[in-house]
Structure 1
Amino acid sequence: MTVTKMTPAQLERFTARLLAERADAEARHVEFDDAMTEVRAARAGANADDEHDPEGPTMTQEWSQRTAVLADVDGELADIDRALARIADGTYGVCARCGKRIAVGRLDARPTATLCIDCARLAR
């Protein structure tokens, strides 16, 4: 099956969008990494037993939440980098499962998509 290639203008638009999303994700990563540094410092302090503090979340809760957010951002960055690599190698917008073109509307909604909508439904 022949897949119609995306136009240069479409590829340029998706590249710009992915780079903007990457910059946003990097900024969030720095913000939460700085927050993790603060939690690490607090845990290492003399008053590390906060489990009985009725005034707010415990350091364990803070650690868990921030670790989860960092993992999500790391995953987002990896997805964006893979999408940018697909643009570079000419496979962006091609379904990884069936080889058909991924609709531009789907890529507008989810620019890191690797599956066409039909294959994504099957993958659920």
Structure 2
Amino acid sequence: MAESLMRQWDGVVEAAASTANDDEHDPEGPTIAYEREQLQAMREHVRAELTDLDRAAQRLREGVYWTCEGCGGPIAAARLGARPTARTCIGCAGKAQTRYRS
């Protein structure tokens, strides 16, 4: 998927280079700008996912994959099954969500 996004990104950059730079008056300008922003966001998301997967693999190698980074307790198999990159148990994840909303 990352390689596909990179190819799409290269195509958008190439298309942008061959068009006018006046996005405000060029009917294709906003489309190219939108595609560029969308692909950039997707690339960042994929990079973050790859980083999370690398971190999960490291936690597995260290023997702490099943251990919550928040409380030190176990992370339920069902949680890791649904979200293999989870680093906290559901209780600590819920506490973190509450903090972000405040």
Q: TM-score, normalised by structure 2?
A: 0.86
In the alignment, the residues of structure 2 paired with residue 50 and residue 31 of structure 1 have an alpha-carbon distance, to the nearest angstrom, of: 28
Deviation per CA, 1:104-124: give whole Å up to 9, x if none: 011011010000011011000
8 Å contact kept, 1:32–1:69: yes
What is the CA deviation profile of residues 14-35 of structure 1, one whole-angstrom value per residue up to 9, with x for unaligned ones? xxxxxxxxxxxxxx11101101
Measured against aligned partners, the alpha-carbon deviations of 1:23-59 in whole angstroms (never above 9, x if no partner) come to xxxxx111011011011111111x23473327x9521
Identity value in percent: 40
Would you say how many aligned residue pairs link Structure 1 and Structure 2? Answer: 95
Pairing 1:59–2:59 present:
no
Summarize deviations over 1:41-81 as a string: whole Å, max 9, x none: 11111x23473327x95211010000000000000000000
Unaligned ranges ≥5, structure 1: 1-27
* Mapped contact 1:43–1:59 kept (Cα < 8 A): yes
Distance (Å, rounded) in 1 between the aligned partners of 2:22 and 2:66: 50
Residue 60 of structure 2 corresponds to which residue in structure 1? 87
1:118 maps to what in 2?
Answer: 91
**Which whole-Å deviations, capped at 9, do the CAs of 1:87-106 have from their partners, x for residues lacking one?**
00111010001000100011
Distance 1:86 1:48 in 2: 49
**Larger relative contact order (Cα-Cα within 8 Å, sequence gap ≥ 6):** 1
Distance 1:50 1:29, change over 3 A: farther
Q: Contact 1:79–1:112 (CA<8 Å) still a contact in 2?
A: yes
Q: Which of 26, 48, 59 does residue 20 from structure 2 map onto?
A: 48
Letter in 1 for 2:20: A
C-alpha contact 1:29 1:73 (8 A) present in aligned 2: yes
- TM-score, normalization by structure 1: 0.71
Asked if 1:103 is matched to 2:76, the reply is yes
Q: Is the 8 A contact 1:95 1:102 kept in 2?
A: yes
